[in-house]
Protein backbone atom coordinates (compact mmCIF):
# COMPACT_ATOMS: atom_id res chain seq x y z
CA UNK A 1 0.00 0.00 0.00
CA UNK A 2 1.30 3.47 -0.90
CA UNK A 3 1.92 5.62 2.20
CA UNK A 4 -1.00 8.11 2.43
CA UNK A 5 1.32 11.13 2.78
CA UNK A 6 3.17 10.15 -0.39
CA UNK A 7 -0.05 9.66 -2.31
CA UNK A 8 -1.20 13.14 -1.24
CA UNK A 9 2.17 14.71 -2.06
CA UNK A 10 2.09 13.03 -5.50
CA UNK A 11 -1.31 14.61 -6.16
CA UNK A 12 -0.02 18.06 -5.16
CA UNK A 13 3.09 17.76 -7.34
CA UNK A 14 0.96 16.73 -10.32
CA UNK A 15 -1.53 19.56 -9.86
CA UNK A 16 1.19 22.21 -9.45
CA UNK A 17 3.14 21.19 -12.55
CA UNK A 18 0.33 19.92 -14.77
CA UNK A 19 -2.50 22.34 -13.90
CA UNK A 20 -0.52 25.33 -12.59
CA UNK A 21 -2.37 24.96 -9.26
CA UNK A 22 -1.11 26.89 -6.24
CA UNK A 23 0.75 24.49 -3.96
CA UNK A 24 -1.09 25.54 -0.79
CA UNK A 25 -4.52 25.13 -2.36
CA UNK A 26 -3.65 21.80 -3.98
CA UNK A 27 -2.32 20.61 -0.61
CA UNK A 28 -5.49 21.61 1.24
CA UNK A 29 -7.63 19.33 -0.91
CA UNK A 30 -5.06 16.52 -1.19
CA UNK A 31 -4.71 16.03 2.59
CA UNK A 32 -8.42 15.90 3.40
CA UNK A 33 -9.06 12.92 5.65
CA UNK A 34 -5.41 12.50 6.72
CA UNK A 35 -4.29 12.75 10.35
CA UNK A 36 -2.05 15.61 11.52
CA UNK A 37 1.17 13.64 11.15
CA UNK A 38 0.46 12.58 7.59
CA UNK A 39 -0.68 16.09 6.70
CA UNK A 40 2.59 17.54 7.93
CA UNK A 41 4.60 14.88 6.08
CA UNK A 42 2.61 15.36 2.86
CA UNK A 43 3.26 19.09 3.05
CA UNK A 44 6.98 18.60 3.58
CA UNK A 45 7.29 16.15 0.70
CA UNK A 46 5.12 18.09 -1.73
CA UNK A 47 6.59 21.51 -0.99
CA UNK A 48 10.15 20.17 -1.00
CA UNK A 49 9.64 18.43 -4.35
CA UNK A 50 8.14 21.54 -5.93
CA UNK A 51 10.90 23.75 -4.52
CA UNK A 52 13.79 21.47 -5.58
CA UNK A 53 12.35 20.67 -9.03
CA UNK A 54 15.25 22.10 -11.01
CA UNK A 55 17.92 20.14 -9.14
CA UNK A 56 15.77 17.01 -9.23
CA UNK A 57 15.18 17.29 -12.99
CA UNK A 58 18.89 17.69 -13.54
CA UNK A 59 19.44 14.45 -11.61
CA UNK A 60 16.72 12.57 -13.50
CA UNK A 61 18.17 13.66 -16.84
CA UNK A 62 21.75 12.81 -15.90
CA UNK A 63 21.00 9.46 -14.28
CA UNK A 64 17.82 8.48 -16.13
CA UNK A 65 19.15 9.57 -19.52
CA UNK A 66 15.74 10.86 -20.66
CA UNK A 67 14.63 14.50 -21.02
CA UNK A 68 12.22 15.25 -18.16
CA UNK A 69 9.86 17.20 -20.39
CA UNK A 70 9.31 14.09 -22.53
CA UNK A 71 8.25 11.91 -19.58
CA UNK A 72 4.63 10.97 -19.11
CA UNK A 73 3.36 13.37 -16.37
CA UNK A 74 2.57 10.74 -13.69
CA UNK A 75 5.97 9.10 -14.25
CA UNK A 76 7.68 12.47 -14.03
CA UNK A 77 5.83 13.33 -10.78
CA UNK A 78 6.64 9.96 -9.18
CA UNK A 79 10.33 10.29 -10.07
CA UNK A 80 10.49 13.86 -8.81
CA UNK A 81 8.83 12.98 -5.52
CA UNK A 82 11.07 9.94 -5.12
CA UNK A 83 14.26 11.85 -5.90
CA UNK A 84 13.35 14.54 -3.39
CA UNK A 85 12.91 12.02 -0.62
CA UNK A 86 16.18 10.24 -1.43
CA UNK A 87 18.23 13.41 -1.23
CA UNK A 88 16.49 15.59 1.37
CA UNK A 89 14.61 13.34 3.80
CA UNK A 90 15.35 10.36 6.01
CA UNK A 91 12.49 8.29 4.59
CA UNK A 92 13.49 4.60 4.21
CA UNK A 93 14.97 4.35 0.71
CA UNK A 94 13.42 1.01 -0.25
CA UNK A 95 9.97 2.33 0.68
CA UNK A 96 10.59 5.47 -1.40
CA UNK A 97 11.56 3.39 -4.44
CA UNK A 98 8.65 0.96 -3.98
CA UNK A 99 6.11 3.77 -3.61
CA UNK A 100 7.40 5.60 -6.70
CA UNK A 101 6.79 2.42 -8.70
CA UNK A 102 3.38 1.86 -7.11
CA UNK A 103 2.31 5.45 -7.83
CA UNK A 104 3.07 4.88 -11.50
CA UNK A 105 1.15 1.61 -11.43
CA UNK A 106 -1.80 3.24 -9.64
CA UNK A 107 -1.84 5.92 -12.37
CA UNK A 108 -2.34 3.05 -14.86
CA UNK A 109 1.05 3.41 -16.47
CA UNK A 110 1.98 -0.27 -16.17
CA UNK A 111 4.31 -0.09 -19.18
CA UNK A 112 6.39 2.63 -17.48
CA UNK A 113 6.93 0.56 -14.31
CA UNK A 114 10.28 -1.03 -15.35
CA UNK A 115 11.62 2.38 -16.44
CA UNK A 116 10.51 4.01 -13.17
CA UNK A 117 12.08 1.22 -11.16
CA UNK A 118 15.36 1.45 -13.08
CA UNK A 119 15.62 5.24 -12.78
CA UNK A 120 14.72 5.18 -9.07
CA UNK A 121 17.48 2.66 -8.45
CA UNK A 122 20.00 4.78 -10.32
CA UNK A 123 18.86 7.81 -8.32
CA UNK A 124 19.18 5.83 -5.11
CA UNK A 125 22.80 5.07 -5.97
CA UNK A 126 23.92 8.31 -7.52
CA UNK A 127 21.66 11.30 -6.82
CA UNK A 128 23.08 12.42 -3.46
CA UNK A 129 26.62 12.35 -4.82
CA UNK A 130 25.57 14.21 -7.96
CA UNK A 131 23.93 17.01 -5.93
CA UNK A 132 26.99 17.29 -3.69
CA UNK A 133 29.27 17.59 -6.74
CA UNK A 134 27.26 20.35 -8.44
CA UNK A 135 28.90 23.79 -8.50
CA UNK A 136 27.29 26.37 -6.21
CA UNK A 137 24.56 28.09 -8.22
CA UNK A 138 20.96 27.97 -9.44
CA UNK A 139 21.00 24.32 -10.54
CA UNK A 140 22.32 23.10 -7.19
CA UNK A 141 19.93 25.30 -5.18
CA UNK A 142 17.00 24.98 -7.61
CA UNK A 143 16.24 28.51 -8.79
CA UNK A 144 15.50 29.84 -12.27
CA UNK A 145 18.53 31.53 -13.85
CA UNK A 146 16.84 34.93 -13.97
CA UNK A 147 16.42 35.08 -10.17
CA UNK A 148 20.05 34.03 -9.60
CA UNK A 149 21.19 36.67 -12.11
CA UNK A 150 19.16 39.45 -10.47
CA UNK A 151 20.54 38.59 -7.04
CA UNK A 152 24.12 38.37 -8.35
CA UNK A 153 23.67 41.83 -9.85
CA UNK A 154 22.18 43.34 -6.68
CA UNK A 155 23.86 41.39 -3.86
CA UNK A 156 27.04 39.91 -5.41
CA UNK A 157 27.88 36.22 -5.84
CA UNK A 158 28.05 35.41 -2.11
CA UNK A 159 24.87 37.38 -1.33
CA UNK A 160 22.99 35.60 -4.11
CA UNK A 161 24.06 32.16 -2.87
CA UNK A 162 23.20 33.07 0.67
CA UNK A 163 19.67 34.15 -0.39
CA UNK A 164 19.27 30.97 -2.45
CA UNK A 165 20.27 28.76 0.46
CA UNK A 166 18.16 30.63 3.03
CA UNK A 167 14.99 30.45 0.96
CA UNK A 168 15.26 26.68 0.70
CA UNK A 169 15.06 26.40 4.49
CA UNK A 170 11.90 26.28 6.54
CA UNK A 171 11.25 29.84 7.78
CA UNK A 172 10.61 30.73 11.42
CA UNK A 173 6.93 30.85 12.32
CA UNK A 174 6.33 34.54 13.01
CA UNK A 175 3.00 35.90 14.21
CA UNK A 176 1.29 39.10 15.28
CA UNK A 177 -0.32 38.97 18.70
CA UNK A 178 -1.87 41.52 21.06
CA UNK A 179 -0.42 39.67 24.08
CA UNK A 180 3.06 38.16 24.58
CA UNK A 181 3.40 34.67 23.05
CA UNK A 182 6.53 32.64 22.25
CA UNK A 183 9.75 34.59 21.69
CA UNK A 184 9.53 38.38 21.31
CA UNK A 185 11.33 40.05 18.39
CA UNK A 186 12.65 43.55 17.72
CA UNK A 187 9.34 44.49 16.05
CA UNK A 188 6.69 45.33 18.69
CA UNK A 189 3.79 42.84 18.55
CA UNK A 190 5.75 40.31 16.48
CA UNK A 191 6.69 36.96 18.02
CA UNK A 192 8.29 33.70 16.94
CA UNK A 193 6.17 30.70 17.97
CA UNK A 194 6.25 26.91 17.61
CA UNK A 195 2.63 26.66 16.48
CA UNK A 196 -0.17 29.06 15.60
CA UNK A 197 -3.20 29.38 17.86
CA UNK A 198 -5.66 31.13 15.49
CA UNK A 199 -7.68 32.48 18.43
CA UNK A 200 -4.75 34.47 19.78
CA UNK A 201 -2.42 35.23 16.86
CA UNK A 202 -2.18 35.80 13.14
CA UNK A 203 0.66 34.36 11.05
CA UNK A 204 2.59 37.32 9.65
CA UNK A 205 6.32 37.85 9.24
CA UNK A 206 7.83 40.59 11.33
CA UNK A 207 9.11 42.24 8.13
CA UNK A 208 5.54 42.50 6.90
CA UNK A 209 4.49 43.98 10.25
CA UNK A 210 7.35 46.45 10.00
CA UNK A 211 5.85 47.88 6.78
CA UNK A 212 2.54 48.61 8.55
CA UNK A 213 4.33 50.14 11.57
CA UNK A 214 6.34 52.44 9.30
CA UNK A 215 3.05 53.99 8.08
CA UNK A 216 2.83 55.53 11.58
CA UNK A 217 -0.94 56.06 11.39
CA UNK A 218 -2.68 57.66 14.39
CA UNK A 219 -6.29 57.94 15.59
CA UNK A 220 -7.94 60.72 13.57
CA UNK A 221 -5.90 60.06 10.40
CA UNK A 222 -7.64 59.20 7.15
CA UNK A 223 -5.58 56.35 5.73
CA UNK A 224 -5.53 54.68 2.29
CA UNK A 225 -4.46 51.05 2.14
CA UNK A 226 -4.17 50.77 -1.64
CA UNK A 227 -3.46 47.01 -2.02
CA UNK A 228 -5.13 45.57 0.99
CA UNK A 229 -5.99 41.85 0.89
CA UNK A 230 -5.63 39.61 2.81
CA UNK A 231 -5.49 42.50 5.26
CA UNK A 232 -2.65 41.69 7.64
CA UNK A 233 -1.30 45.22 7.49
CA UNK A 234 -4.76 46.82 7.25
CA UNK A 235 -5.62 45.50 10.71
CA UNK A 236 -2.58 47.25 12.14
CA UNK A 237 -3.49 50.70 10.79
CA UNK A 238 -5.10 53.28 13.09
CA UNK A 239 -7.60 55.97 12.10
CA UNK A 240 -10.27 55.76 9.43
CA UNK A 241 -8.90 53.20 6.97
CA UNK A 242 -10.11 52.78 3.39
CA UNK A 243 -8.81 49.41 2.27
CA UNK A 244 -8.83 48.98 -1.51
CA UNK A 245 -8.57 45.55 -3.11
CA UNK A 246 -8.90 44.76 -6.80
CA UNK A 247 -9.83 41.11 -6.49
CA UNK A 248 -13.52 40.82 -5.46
CA UNK A 249 -13.15 37.41 -3.81
CA UNK A 250 -10.19 38.54 -1.73
CA UNK A 251 -11.98 41.77 -0.79
CA UNK A 252 -15.05 39.84 0.33
CA UNK A 253 -13.09 37.44 2.56
CA UNK A 254 -11.08 40.25 4.10
CA UNK A 255 -14.15 42.46 4.75
CA UNK A 256 -15.53 39.81 7.12
CA UNK A 257 -12.42 39.95 9.32
CA UNK A 258 -11.69 43.66 9.58
CA UNK A 259 -12.11 45.85 12.69
CA UNK A 260 -14.75 48.65 12.67
CA UNK A 261 -12.29 51.41 11.68
CA UNK A 262 -11.75 49.72 8.28
CA UNK A 263 -13.97 50.06 5.20
CA UNK A 264 -13.12 47.65 2.38
CA UNK A 265 -13.58 48.97 -1.16
CA UNK A 266 -13.47 46.58 -4.10
CA UNK A 267 -11.76 48.36 -6.97
CA UNK A 268 -8.61 49.46 -8.71
CA UNK A 269 -6.50 51.77 -6.56
CA UNK A 270 -5.47 53.58 -9.75
CA UNK A 271 -9.02 54.78 -10.42
CA UNK A 272 -10.92 54.89 -7.09
CA UNK A 273 -12.51 58.14 -5.96
CA UNK A 274 -12.50 58.14 -2.18
CA UNK A 275 -11.29 61.67 -1.45
CA UNK A 276 -8.02 62.79 0.11
CA UNK A 277 -5.93 60.92 2.68
CA UNK A 278 -3.42 61.93 5.35
CA UNK A 279 -1.33 58.82 4.77
CA UNK A 280 -1.19 55.96 2.30
CA UNK A 281 0.25 52.49 2.18
CA UNK A 282 1.05 50.83 -1.15
CA UNK A 283 1.88 47.22 -0.34
CA UNK A 284 2.13 46.43 -4.01
CA UNK A 285 1.85 43.16 -5.90
CA UNK A 286 5.36 41.98 -6.77
CA UNK A 287 7.53 39.04 -7.81
CA UNK A 288 7.69 37.87 -4.18
CA UNK A 289 11.41 37.06 -4.25
CA UNK A 290 11.54 37.70 -0.48
CA UNK A 291 8.91 35.08 0.38
CA UNK A 292 10.08 32.12 -1.71
CA UNK A 293 10.64 30.00 1.40
CA UNK A 294 6.97 30.32 2.32
CA UNK A 295 5.61 29.68 -1.18
CA UNK A 296 7.44 26.77 -2.80
CA UNK A 297 5.89 27.16 -6.26
CA UNK A 298 6.42 30.91 -6.50
CA UNK A 299 9.97 30.75 -7.90
CA UNK A 300 8.59 28.97 -10.98
CA UNK A 301 5.86 31.54 -11.64
CA UNK A 302 7.22 34.83 -10.26
CA UNK A 303 7.58 37.89 -12.45
CA UNK A 304 8.60 41.47 -11.68
CA UNK A 305 5.87 44.15 -11.97
CA UNK A 306 7.65 47.52 -11.94
CA UNK A 307 5.21 49.35 -14.27
CA UNK A 308 2.15 48.40 -12.19
CA UNK A 309 4.00 49.26 -8.98
CA UNK A 310 4.88 52.73 -10.24
CA UNK A 311 1.28 53.35 -11.35
CA UNK A 312 -0.03 52.31 -7.92
CA UNK A 313 2.52 54.45 -6.10
CA UNK A 314 1.67 57.49 -8.25
CA UNK A 315 -2.08 56.90 -7.76
CA UNK A 316 -1.67 56.77 -3.97
CA UNK A 317 0.48 59.92 -3.97
CA UNK A 318 -2.18 61.76 -6.01
CA UNK A 319 -4.76 60.85 -3.37
CA UNK A 320 -2.61 61.87 -0.41
CA UNK A 321 -2.70 65.45 0.88
CA UNK A 322 0.28 67.78 0.26
CA UNK A 323 2.92 67.07 2.92
CA UNK A 324 1.32 63.66 3.67
CA UNK A 325 3.28 60.42 3.55
CA UNK A 326 3.13 57.35 1.33
CA UNK A 327 4.75 54.10 2.39
CA UNK A 328 5.75 51.81 -0.48
CA UNK A 329 6.46 48.20 0.42
CA UNK A 330 7.04 45.01 -1.56
CA UNK A 331 8.03 41.51 -0.43
CA UNK A 332 10.75 41.20 -3.02
CA UNK A 333 14.49 41.51 -3.38
CA UNK A 334 15.53 43.25 -6.58
CA UNK A 335 16.31 46.87 -7.36
CA UNK A 336 13.92 47.03 -10.33
CA UNK A 337 10.82 46.63 -8.17
CA UNK A 338 12.31 48.37 -5.14
CA UNK A 339 14.49 51.49 -5.25
CA UNK A 340 14.02 51.98 -9.02
CA UNK A 341 10.24 52.33 -8.58
CA UNK A 342 10.65 54.81 -5.76
CA UNK A 343 13.25 56.79 -7.72
CA UNK A 344 10.97 56.89 -10.78
CA UNK A 345 8.10 58.28 -8.68
CA UNK A 346 10.10 61.46 -8.03
CA UNK A 347 8.70 61.66 -4.47
CA UNK A 348 10.90 62.93 -1.64
CA UNK A 349 12.28 60.16 0.57
CA UNK A 350 12.00 60.39 4.37
CA UNK A 351 14.86 58.31 5.74
CA UNK A 352 14.07 55.34 7.98
CA UNK A 353 17.72 54.75 8.90
CA UNK A 354 17.52 56.24 12.40
CA UNK A 355 14.36 54.37 13.36
CA UNK A 356 15.34 50.91 12.08
CA UNK A 357 19.14 50.93 11.60
CA UNK A 358 19.32 47.13 11.78
CA UNK A 359 17.31 46.86 8.56
CA UNK A 360 18.90 49.70 6.58
CA UNK A 361 19.21 48.93 2.87
CA UNK A 362 22.91 48.11 2.14
CA UNK A 363 23.42 50.69 -0.61
CA UNK A 364 20.46 53.05 0.00
CA UNK A 365 20.28 53.35 3.80
CA UNK A 366 17.28 55.70 3.65
CA UNK A 367 15.20 52.60 2.77
CA UNK A 368 14.71 49.35 4.68
CA UNK A 369 15.52 45.92 3.29
CA UNK A 370 14.95 42.84 5.43
CA UNK A 371 16.76 39.70 4.33
CA UNK A 372 15.70 36.07 4.80
CA UNK A 373 19.34 34.97 5.15
CA UNK A 374 20.49 37.60 7.66
CA UNK A 375 17.27 38.43 9.50
CA UNK A 376 15.41 35.09 9.36
CA UNK A 377 12.22 36.77 8.21
CA UNK A 378 10.69 37.48 4.82
CA UNK A 379 12.52 39.85 2.48
CA UNK A 380 10.80 43.24 2.35
CA UNK A 381 11.73 46.56 0.81
CA UNK A 382 10.12 49.53 2.61
CA UNK A 383 10.28 53.23 1.71
CA UNK A 384 8.60 56.24 3.33
CA UNK A 385 7.93 59.11 0.92
CA UNK A 386 6.49 62.61 1.20
CA UNK A 387 3.99 64.18 -1.16
CA UNK A 388 5.15 67.72 -2.15
CA UNK A 389 3.43 70.62 -0.27
The distance of closest approach from Cβ of residue 330 to ligand SAM in the complex, given in angstroms and rounded to an integer, is: 7
Nearest residue (CB) to ligand SAM, 20 versus 145: 20
Which residue, 34 or 246, has its beta carbon nearer to ligand SAM?
246
Residue least distant from ligand SAM (Cβ)? 227
Least separation in angstroms between CB 211 and ligand SAM: 7
Give the residue with the Cβ less far from ligand SAM, 12 or 327: 327
Q: Which residue, 63 or 330, has its beta carbon nearer to ligand SAM?
A: 330
Q: How many CA atoms lie within 13 A of 360 on its CB side?
A: 13
Element (H, E) at 349: strand 348-349
Phi/psi of residue 355, nearest 5 degrees? -75, -40
| Closest distance to ligand SAM from the beta carbon of 244 (Å) | 5
- Whether the Cβ atoms of residue 317 and residue 384 lie closer than 8 Å to each other: no
Nearer to ligand SAM, 103 or 305 (CB): 305
Shortest distance (Å) from residue 247 CB to ligand SAM: 4
Which CB, 142 or 208, lies closer to ligand SAM?
208
Single out the catalytic residue among 262, 327, 331, 352.
331
326 backbone dihedrals φ, ψ, rounded to 5°: -125, 125
Task: Write the DSSP symbol of residue 347.
Answer: P
In angstroms, what is the minimal distance from the CB of 328 to ligand SAM? 12
CA-based end-to-end distance of the chain: 71
Question: What residue ranges bind ligand SAM (CB under 6 A)?
Answer: 208, 227-233, 244-247, 250, 268-270, 283, 285, 312
The Cα 111–Cα 362 span in angstroms is: 56
Q: How many residues does the chain have?
A: 389
Q: How far is the CB of 259 from ligand SAM (least distance, A)?
A: 14
Task: Decide: 345 and 353 in contact? Cβ < 8 Å.
Answer: no
Crossing angle of the two packed helices 23-30 and 36-51, in degrees rounded to 10: 150
Classify 149 as helix, strand or coil.
helix
CB 188 within 8 A of CB 200: no
Residue 81 makes CB contacts below 8 A (sequence gap 6+) with: 6, 9, 10, 13, 45, 46, 49, 100, 103
Is residue 331 part of the annotated active site? The answer reads yes
Name which of 58 and 367 has its Cβ closer to ligand SAM.
Answer: 367
What residues have CB less than 8 Å from 367, skipping those under 6 apart? 338, 339, 342, 349, 352, 360, 361, 381, 382, 383
Asked if 315 and 230 count as a contact pair (C-beta separation under 8 A), the reply is no
CB of 10 to ligand SAM, least distance (A): 31
Nearer Cβ to ligand SAM, position 171 or 365?
A: 171
235: phi then psi, degrees, rounded to nearest 5: -60, -20
Helical packing angle, 53-64 and 36-51, nearest 10°: 70
Peptide bond into 230 cis (omega under 30): yes
Question: Least distance (Å) from ligand SAM to the CB of residue 355?
Answer: 20
d(CA 165, CA 156): 14
Cα 133 from Cα 330, distance rounded (Å): 36
- Catalytic site positions: 331
Amino acid sequence: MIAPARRAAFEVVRRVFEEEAYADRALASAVEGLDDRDRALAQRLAYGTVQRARTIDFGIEQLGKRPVRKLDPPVRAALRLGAYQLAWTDQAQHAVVDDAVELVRAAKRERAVPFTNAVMRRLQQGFNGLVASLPEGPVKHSYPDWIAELWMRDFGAEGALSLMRAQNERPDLEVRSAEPVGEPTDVPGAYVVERVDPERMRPMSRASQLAALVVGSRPGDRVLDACAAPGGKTEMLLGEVIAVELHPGRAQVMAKEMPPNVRVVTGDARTIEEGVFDRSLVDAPCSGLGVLARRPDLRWRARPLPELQLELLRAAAERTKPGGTVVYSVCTLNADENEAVVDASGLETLSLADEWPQYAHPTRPEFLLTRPDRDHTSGFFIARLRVPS
